[in-house]
Structure 1
Amino acid sequence: MIEIRPGDGRDFPTLMAFFDDAVEWLVARGSARQWGTEPWSGNPQREDRVRGMATGGGLFIAELDGEPVGALVLGDRLSYAPAVDEPEVYIGLLLTSRAHAGRGVGSALLAFAREETRRRGIGLLRVDCWSDGDGALVEYYRGQGFTPTVEVPVNDTKVQVFEQRL
Protein backbone atom coordinates (compact mmCIF):
# COMPACT_ATOMS: atom_id res chain seq x y z
CA MET A 1 0.00 0.00 0.00
CA ILE A 2 1.28 3.45 -0.89
CA GLU A 3 1.59 5.80 2.07
CA ILE A 4 2.21 9.51 1.78
CA ARG A 5 4.10 11.51 4.38
CA PRO A 6 5.31 15.10 4.66
CA GLY A 7 8.82 15.59 3.30
CA ASP A 8 11.68 17.83 4.36
CA GLY A 9 15.35 18.56 3.78
CA ARG A 10 16.32 14.99 4.66
CA ASP A 11 14.58 13.94 1.43
CA PHE A 12 16.97 15.94 -0.74
CA PRO A 13 19.08 12.86 -1.75
CA THR A 14 15.90 10.96 -2.64
CA LEU A 15 14.65 13.81 -4.82
CA MET A 16 18.02 14.07 -6.57
CA ALA A 17 17.94 10.32 -7.29
CA PHE A 18 14.40 10.64 -8.71
CA PHE A 19 15.49 13.49 -10.98
CA ASP A 20 18.62 11.65 -12.15
CA ASP A 21 16.60 8.52 -12.92
CA ALA A 22 13.98 10.59 -14.75
CA VAL A 23 16.63 12.26 -16.93
CA GLU A 24 18.08 8.88 -17.87
CA TRP A 25 14.59 7.57 -18.70
CA LEU A 26 13.67 10.67 -20.71
CA VAL A 27 16.88 10.48 -22.73
CA ALA A 28 16.21 6.80 -23.49
CA ARG A 29 12.70 7.77 -24.74
CA GLY A 30 14.05 10.52 -26.99
CA SER A 31 12.69 13.29 -24.74
CA ALA A 32 16.00 14.87 -23.74
CA ARG A 33 14.64 18.35 -24.47
CA GLN A 34 12.54 18.18 -21.30
CA TRP A 35 15.34 18.15 -18.71
CA GLY A 36 18.50 17.71 -20.76
CA THR A 37 20.89 14.80 -21.03
CA GLU A 38 22.98 15.24 -17.90
CA PRO A 39 22.13 14.10 -14.36
CA TRP A 40 20.90 16.83 -12.05
CA SER A 41 23.36 15.65 -9.40
CA GLY A 42 26.53 17.66 -9.64
CA ASN A 43 24.82 20.65 -11.26
CA PRO A 44 24.83 23.38 -8.56
CA GLN A 45 21.87 25.30 -10.03
CA ARG A 46 19.68 22.23 -10.26
CA GLU A 47 20.79 20.98 -6.86
CA ASP A 48 19.81 24.36 -5.38
CA ARG A 49 16.43 24.14 -7.09
CA VAL A 50 15.80 20.65 -5.70
CA ARG A 51 17.06 21.66 -2.25
CA GLY A 52 14.46 24.44 -2.34
CA MET A 53 11.77 21.87 -3.11
CA ALA A 54 12.92 19.74 -0.19
CA THR A 55 13.09 22.58 2.33
CA GLY A 56 10.48 25.05 1.07
CA GLY A 57 7.39 23.41 2.54
CA GLY A 58 4.75 21.56 0.57
CA LEU A 59 6.82 18.43 -0.14
CA PHE A 60 5.17 15.05 0.26
CA ILE A 61 6.85 11.69 -0.26
CA ALA A 62 5.07 8.52 -1.37
CA GLU A 63 6.42 5.32 0.15
CA LEU A 64 5.80 1.70 -0.70
CA ASP A 65 6.82 -0.72 2.05
CA GLY A 66 8.87 2.10 3.61
CA GLU A 67 10.79 2.87 0.39
CA PRO A 68 10.38 6.32 -1.21
CA VAL A 69 8.74 5.90 -4.62
CA GLY A 70 7.46 9.36 -5.51
CA ALA A 71 7.37 13.03 -4.63
CA LEU A 72 4.81 15.81 -4.78
CA VAL A 73 5.21 19.53 -4.10
CA LEU A 74 2.08 21.58 -3.43
CA GLY A 75 2.17 25.36 -3.27
CA ASP A 76 1.73 28.54 -5.23
CA ARG A 77 1.63 28.74 -9.01
CA LEU A 78 4.89 28.74 -10.87
CA SER A 79 5.99 32.07 -12.35
CA TYR A 80 5.19 31.19 -15.97
CA ALA A 81 1.65 29.99 -15.24
CA PRO A 82 -1.03 32.63 -15.76
CA ALA A 83 -2.60 33.92 -12.56
CA VAL A 84 -6.19 33.04 -11.70
CA ASP A 85 -8.78 35.10 -9.83
CA GLU A 86 -9.44 32.55 -7.09
CA PRO A 87 -7.55 30.55 -4.50
CA GLU A 88 -5.72 27.54 -5.89
CA VAL A 89 -3.25 24.83 -5.03
CA TYR A 90 -0.56 24.35 -7.65
CA ILE A 91 1.35 21.12 -8.12
CA GLY A 92 4.95 22.29 -8.51
CA LEU A 93 6.32 18.76 -8.81
CA LEU A 94 5.01 15.27 -9.44
CA LEU A 95 7.84 12.80 -9.85
CA THR A 96 7.88 9.05 -9.42
CA SER A 97 10.59 6.44 -9.19
CA ARG A 98 11.09 4.80 -12.56
CA ALA A 99 11.78 1.53 -10.71
CA HIS A 100 8.13 1.53 -9.59
CA ALA A 101 6.49 2.74 -12.80
CA GLY A 102 3.02 1.36 -13.41
CA ARG A 103 2.24 0.80 -9.73
CA GLY A 104 -0.11 3.77 -9.31
CA VAL A 105 2.34 6.04 -7.49
CA GLY A 106 1.50 9.11 -9.58
CA SER A 107 -2.23 8.44 -9.26
CA ALA A 108 -1.91 8.10 -5.48
CA LEU A 109 -0.01 11.37 -5.24
CA LEU A 110 -2.60 13.15 -7.39
CA ALA A 111 -5.41 11.74 -5.25
CA PHE A 112 -3.57 13.07 -2.20
CA ALA A 113 -3.23 16.48 -3.89
CA ARG A 114 -6.99 16.55 -4.48
CA GLU A 115 -7.70 15.61 -0.87
CA GLU A 116 -5.25 18.21 0.44
CA THR A 117 -6.76 20.90 -1.80
CA ARG A 118 -10.26 20.09 -0.51
CA ARG A 119 -8.98 19.97 3.09
CA ARG A 120 -7.72 23.54 2.62
CA GLY A 121 -11.18 24.57 1.44
CA ILE A 122 -9.95 25.33 -2.08
CA GLY A 123 -11.80 24.30 -5.22
CA LEU A 124 -9.07 24.60 -7.86
CA LEU A 125 -6.04 22.36 -8.35
CA ARG A 126 -3.60 23.20 -11.16
CA VAL A 127 -0.54 21.51 -12.61
CA ASP A 128 1.60 21.81 -15.71
CA CYS A 129 3.76 19.54 -17.80
CA TRP A 130 6.17 19.67 -20.69
CA SER A 131 4.11 19.58 -23.87
CA ASP A 132 6.76 19.65 -26.58
CA GLY A 133 7.28 15.89 -26.66
CA ASP A 134 5.22 12.93 -27.80
CA GLY A 135 2.11 14.03 -25.89
CA ALA A 136 2.24 11.24 -23.31
CA LEU A 137 2.44 13.63 -20.34
CA VAL A 138 -0.44 15.73 -21.62
CA GLU A 139 -2.55 12.60 -22.07
CA TYR A 140 -1.57 11.36 -18.61
CA TYR A 141 -2.99 14.48 -16.95
CA ARG A 142 -6.11 14.39 -19.14
CA GLY A 143 -6.57 10.79 -18.03
CA GLN A 144 -6.29 11.95 -14.43
CA GLY A 145 -9.23 14.31 -14.93
CA PHE A 146 -7.34 17.55 -15.59
CA THR A 147 -8.50 19.97 -18.28
CA PRO A 148 -5.89 21.73 -20.43
CA THR A 149 -6.18 25.51 -20.17
CA VAL A 150 -3.26 27.29 -21.82
CA GLU A 151 0.07 26.35 -23.35
CA VAL A 152 2.89 28.73 -22.44
CA PRO A 153 6.47 29.10 -23.69
CA VAL A 154 9.17 28.32 -21.15
CA ASN A 155 12.76 28.83 -22.28
CA ASP A 156 13.00 27.04 -25.63
CA THR A 157 10.06 24.69 -25.15
CA LYS A 158 6.35 24.68 -24.24
CA VAL A 159 4.42 23.81 -21.11
CA GLN A 160 0.73 22.88 -20.89
CA VAL A 161 -1.13 24.21 -17.85
CA PHE A 162 -4.08 22.16 -16.57
CA GLU A 163 -6.81 22.66 -14.01
CA GLN A 164 -9.15 20.44 -12.09
CA ARG A 165 -12.21 21.76 -10.30
CA LEU A 166 -12.91 20.01 -7.02
Structure 2
Amino acid sequence: MRIRTGGPGSDTVLLALLDGAVAWLAAQGRTDQWGPTPWSRRPGAAERAARVTAENLVLIAEPEPGAGTAPGPGPTGAPLGICVLADRAPDHLPPAGEPELFVRWLVTDPAHRGAGVGAALVSEARRRARGRGIGLLRVDCYAGGGGRLVAQYERLGFTRTAAFTEDRPTGPWPGQLLELRTG
Protein backbone atom coordinates (compact mmCIF):
# COMPACT_ATOMS: atom_id res chain seq x y z
CA MET A 1 0.00 0.00 0.00
CA ARG A 2 0.97 3.62 -0.30
CA ILE A 3 -0.13 6.60 1.75
CA ARG A 4 -0.92 9.88 0.06
CA THR A 5 -1.94 13.26 1.38
CA GLY A 6 -5.59 14.09 0.91
CA GLY A 7 -7.40 17.30 1.69
CA PRO A 8 -10.47 19.14 0.40
CA GLY A 9 -12.46 16.59 -1.55
CA SER A 10 -11.42 13.70 0.71
CA ASP A 11 -14.78 13.96 2.49
CA THR A 12 -16.26 11.33 0.17
CA VAL A 13 -13.49 8.89 1.16
CA LEU A 14 -14.06 9.60 4.86
CA LEU A 15 -17.83 9.12 4.59
CA ALA A 16 -17.54 5.92 2.55
CA LEU A 17 -15.11 4.38 5.05
CA LEU A 18 -17.26 5.49 8.00
CA ASP A 19 -20.35 3.98 6.35
CA GLY A 20 -18.46 0.70 5.87
CA ALA A 21 -17.32 0.68 9.49
CA VAL A 22 -20.85 1.37 10.79
CA ALA A 23 -22.26 -1.45 8.64
CA TRP A 24 -19.54 -3.83 9.84
CA LEU A 25 -20.14 -2.98 13.50
CA ALA A 26 -23.93 -3.19 13.11
CA ALA A 27 -23.66 -6.60 11.41
CA GLN A 28 -21.96 -7.81 14.60
CA GLY A 29 -24.63 -6.26 16.82
CA ARG A 30 -22.15 -3.62 18.02
CA THR A 31 -24.15 -0.40 17.64
CA ASP A 32 -23.18 1.25 20.94
CA GLN A 33 -20.20 3.07 19.41
CA TRP A 34 -21.77 4.77 16.37
CA GLY A 35 -25.31 3.39 16.11
CA PRO A 36 -26.79 1.66 13.03
CA THR A 37 -27.29 4.70 10.76
CA PRO A 38 -24.69 5.21 8.04
CA TRP A 39 -22.65 8.38 8.59
CA SER A 40 -23.52 9.71 5.15
CA ARG A 41 -27.23 9.75 6.09
CA ARG A 42 -26.80 11.64 9.37
CA PRO A 43 -27.84 15.29 9.54
CA GLY A 44 -24.82 17.55 9.06
CA ALA A 45 -22.39 14.67 8.46
CA ALA A 46 -21.51 15.64 4.89
CA GLU A 47 -20.78 19.22 5.95
CA ARG A 48 -18.71 18.05 8.93
CA ALA A 49 -16.70 15.63 6.76
CA ALA A 50 -16.06 18.40 4.20
CA ARG A 51 -14.93 20.77 6.95
CA VAL A 52 -12.58 18.37 8.78
CA THR A 53 -10.93 17.15 5.57
CA ALA A 54 -10.46 20.74 4.35
CA GLU A 55 -9.08 22.09 7.65
CA ASN A 56 -6.80 19.24 8.75
CA LEU A 57 -4.02 16.95 7.54
CA VAL A 58 -5.55 13.98 5.71
CA LEU A 59 -3.68 10.73 5.04
CA ILE A 60 -5.23 8.14 2.74
CA ALA A 61 -3.99 4.55 2.44
CA GLU A 62 -4.44 3.05 -1.02
CA PRO A 63 -3.21 0.00 -2.89
CA GLU A 64 -0.01 0.60 -4.83
CA PRO A 65 -0.88 1.68 -8.37
CA GLY A 66 -1.44 -1.43 -10.46
CA ALA A 67 -1.50 -3.69 -7.39
CA GLY A 68 -5.27 -3.76 -6.84
CA THR A 69 -6.31 -4.69 -3.32
CA ALA A 70 -6.08 -7.74 -1.13
CA PRO A 71 -8.98 -10.16 -1.54
CA GLY A 72 -12.19 -8.71 -0.21
CA PRO A 73 -15.49 -7.19 -1.25
CA GLY A 74 -14.20 -3.65 -1.88
CA PRO A 75 -13.54 -2.37 -5.39
CA THR A 76 -10.04 -2.69 -6.81
CA GLY A 77 -8.04 0.45 -6.05
CA ALA A 78 -10.54 1.73 -3.46
CA PRO A 79 -9.05 3.51 -0.42
CA LEU A 80 -8.03 1.14 2.35
CA GLY A 81 -8.17 3.67 5.17
CA ILE A 82 -8.03 7.31 6.18
CA CYS A 83 -6.48 9.28 9.04
CA VAL A 84 -7.45 12.89 9.75
CA LEU A 85 -5.02 14.77 11.99
CA ALA A 86 -5.73 18.10 13.72
CA ASP A 87 -3.30 20.47 15.43
CA ARG A 88 -5.18 20.11 18.73
CA ALA A 89 -7.76 18.00 20.51
CA PRO A 90 -11.48 18.78 20.37
CA ASP A 91 -12.61 21.29 22.99
CA HIS A 92 -14.29 18.67 25.22
CA LEU A 93 -10.90 17.04 25.94
CA PRO A 94 -8.05 18.36 28.09
CA PRO A 95 -5.37 20.27 26.19
CA ALA A 96 -2.05 18.50 25.70
CA GLY A 97 0.06 21.28 27.18
CA GLU A 98 2.49 20.91 24.27
CA PRO A 99 2.31 20.81 20.48
CA GLU A 100 0.47 17.73 19.23
CA LEU A 101 -1.22 16.11 16.29
CA PHE A 102 -4.61 14.77 17.28
CA VAL A 103 -6.16 11.84 15.44
CA ARG A 104 -9.68 13.08 14.68
CA TRP A 105 -10.51 10.04 12.53
CA LEU A 106 -8.74 6.76 11.88
CA VAL A 107 -10.96 4.49 9.81
CA THR A 108 -10.03 1.44 7.79
CA ASP A 109 -12.03 -0.62 5.33
CA PRO A 110 -13.33 -3.64 7.27
CA ALA A 111 -12.62 -5.81 4.21
CA HIS A 112 -8.91 -5.28 4.92
CA ARG A 113 -9.03 -5.78 8.68
CA GLY A 114 -5.75 -7.13 10.01
CA ALA A 115 -3.77 -6.09 6.92
CA GLY A 116 -1.82 -3.38 8.73
CA VAL A 117 -3.69 -0.41 7.26
CA GLY A 118 -4.23 1.31 10.61
CA ALA A 119 -0.63 0.63 11.63
CA ALA A 120 0.64 2.14 8.37
CA LEU A 121 -1.48 5.25 8.84
CA VAL A 122 -0.33 5.70 12.45
CA SER A 123 3.29 5.20 11.37
CA GLU A 124 2.91 7.92 8.74
CA ALA A 125 1.19 10.20 11.27
CA ARG A 126 4.19 9.74 13.61
CA ARG A 127 6.58 10.52 10.76
CA ARG A 128 4.64 13.66 9.84
CA ALA A 129 4.55 14.80 13.47
CA ARG A 130 8.31 14.31 13.87
CA GLY A 131 8.84 16.24 10.63
CA ARG A 132 7.01 19.17 12.20
CA GLY A 133 8.99 18.88 15.43
CA ILE A 134 5.94 17.53 17.29
CA GLY A 135 6.55 14.85 19.89
CA LEU A 136 2.98 13.82 20.67
CA LEU A 137 0.10 12.09 18.90
CA ARG A 138 -3.18 11.76 20.79
CA VAL A 139 -6.49 10.09 20.01
CA ASP A 140 -9.79 9.54 21.77
CA CYS A 141 -11.97 6.53 21.15
CA TYR A 142 -14.95 4.53 22.28
CA ALA A 143 -14.09 2.63 25.46
CA GLY A 144 -17.18 0.41 25.65
CA GLY A 145 -17.61 -2.93 23.97
CA GLY A 146 -15.17 -4.63 26.29
CA GLY A 147 -12.45 -2.10 25.45
CA ARG A 148 -11.72 -3.67 22.03
CA LEU A 149 -10.99 -0.35 20.32
CA VAL A 150 -8.82 0.85 23.22
CA ALA A 151 -6.85 -2.40 22.98
CA GLN A 152 -6.42 -1.88 19.24
CA TYR A 153 -4.90 1.57 19.83
CA GLU A 154 -2.64 0.07 22.49
CA ARG A 155 -1.44 -2.51 19.92
CA LEU A 156 -0.59 0.46 17.68
CA GLY A 157 1.64 1.87 20.44
CA PHE A 158 -0.69 4.29 22.22
CA THR A 159 -0.99 4.37 26.02
CA ARG A 160 -4.07 5.30 28.04
CA THR A 161 -4.12 8.70 29.70
CA ALA A 162 -7.67 9.65 30.77
CA ALA A 163 -11.08 8.02 30.69
CA PHE A 164 -14.14 10.21 30.15
CA THR A 165 -17.88 9.94 29.56
CA GLU A 166 -19.88 11.98 27.06
CA ASP A 167 -23.61 12.53 27.49
CA ARG A 168 -25.26 11.67 24.19
CA PRO A 169 -28.93 11.45 23.19
CA THR A 170 -28.60 7.65 23.23
CA GLY A 171 -27.12 7.69 26.74
CA PRO A 172 -23.65 7.87 28.31
CA TRP A 173 -20.82 7.18 25.86
CA PRO A 174 -17.60 5.91 27.52
CA GLY A 175 -14.41 7.27 25.99
CA GLN A 176 -10.69 6.89 26.43
CA LEU A 177 -7.93 9.40 25.65
CA LEU A 178 -4.63 7.84 24.57
CA GLU A 179 -1.22 9.18 23.55
CA LEU A 180 1.82 8.11 21.59
CA ARG A 181 5.25 9.71 21.71
CA THR A 182 6.60 10.22 18.20
CA GLY A 183 10.32 9.96 18.96
TM-score by length of 2: 0.84
Please say if residues 81 and 108 of structure 2, whose CA atoms lie closer than 8 Å, have aligned partners that are also in contact: yes
**Root-mean-square deviation over aligned CA pairs:** 1.4
Give the one of 54, 66, 71 matched to 2:82: 71
Matched, 1:59 2:70: no
Q: Matches of 2:181 and 2:54 in 1, distance apart?
A: 28
- Calculate percent identity across the aligned residue pairs: 40
Paired AA for residue 136 in structure 1 = R
Q: How far is 1:29 from its partner?
A: 2.3
**Deviation by residue 1:57-115 (Cα, 9 ceiling, x = unmatched):** 31111111343111011112122221122111111110011122111100000000111
Contact 2:13/2:82, CA 8 A, preserved across alignment: no
Q: Distance in 2 between matches of 1:98 and 1:40?
A: 15
Residue 45 of structure 1 is matched in structure 2 by: 44
Q: Does 1:159 align with 2:158?
A: no
Contact 1:71 1:93 in 2 (8 A): yes
Residue identity opposite 1:126 in structure 2: R
Q: Distance in 1 between matches of 2:153 and 2:175?
A: 13
Aligned to 1:83: 95
* 1:27 equivalent in structure 2: 26
Could you tell me how far 1:44 is from its partner in structure 2? 3.0
CA distance in 1, matches of 2:25, 2:117: 18
Match of 1:122 in 2: 134
Counterparts of 1:87 and 1:14, CA distance in 2: 28
Alignment gaps of 5+ in structure 2: 66-76
Unaligned stretches of 5+ in structure 1?
none
What is aligned with 1:9? 8
The TM-score normalised by the length of structure 1 is 0.92
